[in-house]
Structure 1
Amino acid sequence: MAGKALQGVRVLELGSLIGAPFCGTLMAEFGADVIKVEDPEVGDMSRHLGQAVDGTGLMFASLGRNKRCVTLDLRRPEGQAVLARLAATCDVVIENFRPGTLAAWNLDYATLSKDHPRLVMAHVSGFGQTGPYRDRLAFDRIATAFSGQDFITGFPENPPTRPGGALADYITGMFCTIGVLVALHHRDHVSGRGQEIDLALYEGILRLAGSIEAFDLLGTVPQRMGNANPAIAPAETFRSRDGHWLSINGGTDNVWKRLLALMGREDLAVDARFATARARATHQAEVNAIVGAWTAGLDLEPLLDALERESVPAAKVNSIADVVADPHVQARGNVVRAVLASGREFLTSGVVPKLSETPGSIEFVAPALGAHTDVVLRELLGMSDADIGALRRERIV
């Protein structure tokens, strides 16, 4: 992977499922040598969850891209010894075991960094390495509930709703990547030493919440509002005459005036209820009702054409079938073709973001369990075939 931005960075990934492994995926897409360590018997659970094709779990087909996969039984001293040697060859270790697990195996940062002070270690766990809840288990839906996200998601007449997709997991992976890159920069340009990164699964969503300040200063507790936005109107999901859904955001004053002209309702520009962004937010039920009545009188395509012509932000509410067929998505490389181990081609998400000089890429997807064990142990640790064979007979690898 010559010419990649992270070429020369080696990452040891001890993570499972999404939160920590997504950090490894992002780094691997941009050229880092990511070595994924899995249990010899079952591997990462992402291999076994959700749908599968030709024996390959499709979740792992996305998360396992560009990674070299090694099996190692970390619950046994022999496996721990091999892991410590591998860590000594790496810049970064990413892990999402329960807090204290690595310390019990003598694989914690304090131990590994004694002989490798440049090592960066990122910890992802449900509630972090410190605090009264550090020993609690959590998955994505626990994190979205704890962070307050579920409380504000959904319609007021319905129970709190979990956001679609593994939102907390993927956001955590992104924040973990930021932390690793910041730590590497500090090591290489400031201190010469590595450091630890501590990230709880709920913290990324909480950081993005944007509601703490208003609660503290004004006592505001956001409630479920469906698809509306408490600070912006019109900002809703509307229905067209032919039964399609579209989203419109006309919250700024300039966009609102253009939308009024398009609807033939310039008279509302001088109505005190709608004259400013803050006033419209206060009267958003009325604003959204006016816009909704207008969209209900037109079919989707003429609606979208008119909104685009007048520079009013809008989009059809797409299904995944709509997304992959969209010419803009295709032109941007947001979906690309890859190949499973069976030889079957399939569509997968493209690399994000796009770099002009050192773009990321998908070199391969979903290696078999332990596919790179022998080559990694030979290349990085100088092990012989006899050494590796002995580990395999003892089911260490």
Structure 2
Amino acid sequence: MDREGALAGLKVIELGQLIAGPFCGQLLGDMGADVVKVEAPGGGDPMRNWGSGEHKVWWDVIARNKRSVTADLRRAEGQDLVRKLVAEADIVIENFRPGKLESWGLGPEQLLEGNPRLIIVRMSGYGQTGPYASRPGFGGVAEAMGGWRAIVGEPDRPPSRMGVSIGDTLGATFGCMGVLAALHARTRTGRGQIIDVALYECVLQVMESQIAEYDVSGLVRQRSGSILPGIAPSNVYPCRDGEYMIAANADGIFARLCDTMGQPELARDPRFADHVSRGRHQSDLDGIVSAWTGQFLIAELEEKMIDNAIPAGRVYSPADIVSDPHIAARQAVVSVPHAVHGSIKMQNCVPVLSDTPSRIRRSAPTRPGQHNAEIYTELGIDASDLRTLEAGGVI
């Protein structure tokens, strides 16, 4: 098996299902770790059937670089299989409701007793402690509690959501960061540790200075649609054939935009002469910029932005992403072999490492337990015992 990557040689056992835990597993697998996905016998992870469109292919992204085994965690035999897997692992990822692993005899204390070097990353809506710990908490709920939903959308409408599961993916990303930090600590101490990831806290972490603003001045940010209040001009502006993003809020860049627009006097106008003034007159300025951009096709406007070094860009659809020459040159989208579709395009691994590059080495498992024989045999379980476990519904 190809072992290259920064985390080559590390084994990850991925428990749980749906988004947060599996996305953390995807990130670690992309970096070269051997990720063993534990699924329930039968249908496996519900993610296999998630996604939009006729063909559900989200699984093919989130389960890449993984091997799949099955084990019924509700049964003693299945729990024993997981203990055997964990005994030889470096990292365990789980995103069950707090207390569930403990009820199966698979709590961190038991797992660390058998493998003191083990790193366990636990993901839940509210964390492992506190009065809300036992509540079910999906990513959307975390986005609400962390303050995200309150500021997303138009000011005269109810809160909106992003078109992706940002609460879960933030939790997974911070969980991955915790794993990397714990691996470094283990090189000094020789010990593993437990990483407690609360999804709402991960959302809260990216809310910039909102808590400090409220504490110091009582400010509560409101929903503001497509703008950030006080940051202007920075918006999506109309063209004759669509929309175009321009971010010209810095003084020097704004002056270049004014020259490009043929209105250099705007840069000296007291309403727009500096960052604070532009923020106070944001609506007026956006109206002026919109009236100008509306004269052009997107391609015409983009040429002007590039020629005058103004940060700007098209609002990409998937069709734009897969056909863009810069994205192609950096291989930010790659084609991965697929048993049904021949190949599937998907986002590549990030970030780009020069000496130990991450990459997609393995397509997602096509069925739950696809690697049962391969992995369980590695643990010393013979074929006869595997047949017995399978007949009994344990795997």
TM-score range, shorter chain: over 0.9
Is the CA contact (8 Å cut-off) linking 2:25 and 2:35 kept in structure 1?
yes
- Asked if 1:305 is matched to 2:312, the reply is no
Equivalent residue number for residue 75 of structure 2:
76
Amino acid in structure 2 at the alignment position of 1:318: Y
- Establish whether residue 91 from structure 1 lines up as the match of residue 93 from structure 2: no
Give the alignment's TM-score, normalised by structure 2: 0.96
Corresponding residue of 2:220: 221
Partner of 1:118: 117
Asked whether the equivalents of residues 341 and 366 of structure 1 are also in contact (C-alpha less than 8 Å), the reply is: no
Q: Per-residue deviation at 1:369?
A: 1.1
**Structural mapping, 1:120-199, within 5 Å:** 120-188=119-187, 190-199=188-197
**2:341 & 2:238 partners in 1: Cα distance?**
42
Partner of 1:22: 23
Paired AA for residue 340 in structure 2 = S
CA contact (8 A) 2:9 2:33 kept: yes
Structure 1 residue 52 displacement after superposition? 7.3
Is the contact between residue 244 and residue 316 of structure 1 (CA under 8 Å) also seen in structure 2? Answer: no
Aligned length: 392
Residue 270 of structure 1: how far off its partner (Å): 2.1
Q: Which amino acid aligns with 1:19?
A: A
1:148-169 C-alpha deviation (Å, 9 max, x unpaired): 2111111112211011111111
Residue 109 of structure 1: how far off its partner (Å): 0.8
Provide the residue aligned with 2:316 in structure 1: 318
Please identify runs of 4+ aligned residues in structure 1 that moved more than 6 A: none
Deviates more, 1:65-74 or 1:155-164: 155-164
Deviation at 1:272, TM superposition (A): 2.1
- After superposition, what is the alpha-carbon deviation per residue over 1:27-57, rounded to whole angstroms, capped at 9, x for unaligned? 111210100000002211100223477xx74
Structure 1 equivalent of residue 282 of structure 2? 284
Counterpart contact for 1:273–1:283, Cα < 8 Å: yes
Q: Contact (CA 8 Å) 1:145, 1:162: kept in 2 or not? A: no
Following superposition, the deviation at residue 321 of structure 1 comes to 1.3
CA contact (8 A) 1:11 1:92 kept: yes
Superimposed CA distance per residue, residues 177-214 of structure 1 (whole angstroms, 9 cap, x where no aligned partner): 000110111011x2111110011122222100111111
For the 8 Å contact 1:120–1:180, the answer to whether it is kept is: yes
CA distance in 2, matches of 1:358, 1:343: 30
Instruction: For structure 1, list consecutive stretches of 5 or more residues without a partner in the other structure.
Output: none
- CA–CA distance in structure 2, aligned partners of residues 149 and 51 of structure 1: 24
The separation in 2 between residues aligned to 1:75 and 1:9, in whole angstroms, is 27
Q: Provide the TM-score with structure 1 as the length reference.
A: 0.96
CA RMSD of aligned residues (A): 1.4
* Greater CA drift, 123-132 or 143-152: 143-152
Does the 8 Å CA contact 2:15/2:94 hold for their aligned counterparts?
yes
Q: Secondary structure at 2:357's aligned position in 1?
A: coil
CA contact (8 A) 2:42 2:368 kept: no
Whether 1:50 aligns to 2:41 is no
One-letter amino acid matched to 2:40: D
1:106 aligns with 2:111: no
Distance 2:372 2:359 in 1: 23
Alpha-carbon distance between aligned partners in 2 of 1:30 and 1:52, rounded to the nearest angstrom = 29
| Alignment-mate amino acid for residue 32 of structure 1 | A
Counterparts of 2:69 and 2:232 in 1: how far apart (Å)? Answer: 52
- Quick one: distance in 1 between partners of 2:42 and 2:134? 26
Question: What letter corresponds to residue 166 of structure 1 in structure 2?
Answer: S
1:58 CA displacement = 0.6
**Does the 8 A contact of 1:15 with 1:21 survive in 2?**
yes
Q: Among residues 185, 200, 203, which one is paired with 2:201 in the alignment?
A: 203
Q: Distance in 1 between matches of 2:16 and 2:181?
A: 20
Which amino acid counterpart does residue 200 of structure 2 have in structure 1?
Y
- Three-state SS of the structure 2 residue aligned to 1:198 is strand
Moved more, 97-106 or 130-139: 130-139
Q: Distance in 2 between matches of 1:142 and 1:163?
A: 13
Which deviations, in whole Å up to 9, do the C-alpha atoms of 1:68-95 show, x marking residues without a partner? 1000000001111111111110000000
Gap runs ≥5 in structure 2: none
- AA paired with 2:242? H
Per-residue deviation at 1:170? 1.3
Report the identity percentage.
41
Partner of 2:328: 330
Stretch deviating more after TM superposition (148-157 or 135-144):
135-144
- SS at 1:86 equivalent: helix
